[in-house]
Amino acid sequence: MKKIAALLLLLVLSSCASVPISSPLVNRRVGESPALRTPSVRAVGEVIYETFDYDEWQGAQLAEPLMIDVLAAEATLGPGDPLIAAQEEGLTVYCTAKPTLRVAGQAPSSRICLVDRNKDGKFDVWRAPEGPPARIKWAPLKVETAFSTGPAMAPTGKGYRYELLYQGLSANVVRLLYREYIDDLIRPAFQQELSYTLATAGSTEISFRLTRLVIESADNNTIRYEILSSLKPK
């Protein structure tokens, strides 16, 4: 029985070779924000300064979970799973960043690619470009799934992003959060809470690593400041 199921799976899904995917659509982002010596205002929880150099992948997010189940192969994609965009034969194809399709409980062996063939805001066909198994031709989804497009951070990549966030004021002490992303641009590789006592009158100059900034005023809602020097990689 297992041999028959395996044979059917090979006939329906498999290919001797993988199907190449075009290069992903990527925008290179390099810079810092806000510009140096520019009066700025930010609210609690917002990034007050960032410097970055990384690839921003064009992609999509599912509006709801999507399940693919065909013979012994299955995959489940959630709204939080990054889908990376690529151009292929005039179509915009969105593929998972990592292998997702698994056969008979084994480790995932192929990514899943999706296309909105009807251009109605819903994915309607899929294929598995790698293998085994590999599904060469596009097949209809059992349930069409809505999605939204936008930047999609791949789980790994080259680059960095450093951030300072404003966390509020307590007893005349400003609280900041430093976050450092290196290569993995989804989860911080390092973070550190910072606190600085404001001057009793006038502005206060503070520093962290190579960054210097002047705080003009701060309360539990906003901070007014200027960045004097950049925060760059160590």
Q: How does pLDDT run across 73-110, given as a tens digit for each residue?
A: 899 999 988 899 998 888 899 999 889 988 887 888 88
- Do 124 and 219 belong together in one domain? no
Q: d(Cα 95, Cα 87) in Å, to the nearest integer? A: 11
- Do 74 and 174 belong together in one domain? no
More confident residue, 71 or 102: 102
- Do 102 and 194 belong together in one domain? no
24-57 burial, b at 16+ Cβ within 10 Å, e below that, comes to bbbeeeeebebeeeeebebebeeebbbbbbbebb
Contacts of 54 (CB under 8 A, 6+ apart): 28, 29, 157, 158, 159, 160, 161, 181, 185
More confident residue, 47 or 4: 47
First to last CA, the chain: 60
How do residues 188-203 score in pLDDT, each as one tens digit?
A: 899 999 999 999 999 9
Q: What is the pLDDT of residue 132?
A: 63
pLDDT at 6 over 60: no
pLDDT band at 129 (very low <50, low <70, confident <90, very high): confident
Mean pLDDT, the chain, integer: 85
Residue 217 covered by a domain: yes
Q: What is the pLDDT of residue 153?
A: 59
Q: Which two tokens stand for residue 16?
A: 């001797």
Burial (CB count <10 Å: 0-12, 13-18, 19+), residue 96 = buried
- Do 17 and 115 belong together in one domain? yes
Residue 192 covered by a domain: yes
Q: What is the pLDDT of residue 213?
A: 97
Q: d(Cα 156, Cα 181) in Å, to the nearest integer? A: 11
SS3 category, 187:
coil
Mean predicted confidence (pLDDT) in 45-61: 91
pLDDT at 64 over 50: yes
Mean predicted confidence (pLDDT) in 12-39: 72
Residue 234 covered by a domain: no
pLDDT band at 17 (very low <50, low <70, confident <90, very high): very low
List the domain range (segments joined by +) for residue 161: 27-56+155-229
In the listed set 152, 168, 185, which residue is the last one of a domain according to the structure? Answer: 152
Q: d(Cα 66, Cα 75) in Å, to the nearest integer? A: 8
> What is the total count of domains within the chain?
2
How do residues 141-191 score in pLDDT, each as one tens digit?
A: 999 999 999 876 555 567 899 999 999 999 999 999 999 998 877 788 999
More confident residue, 232 or 112: 112
- Do 111 and 65 belong together in one domain? yes
More confident residue, 101 or 205: 205
Contacts of 2 (CB under 8 A, 6+ apart): none
User: Which DSSP category does 110 fall into?
Assistant: B
Residue 123 covered by a domain: yes
pLDDT band at 11 (very low <50, low <70, confident <90, very high): very low
Asked if residue 64 lies in contact with residue 79, where contact means CB atoms within 8 angstroms, the answer is: yes
Percent of the chain at pLDDT exceeding 90: 56
More confident residue, 214 or 21: 214
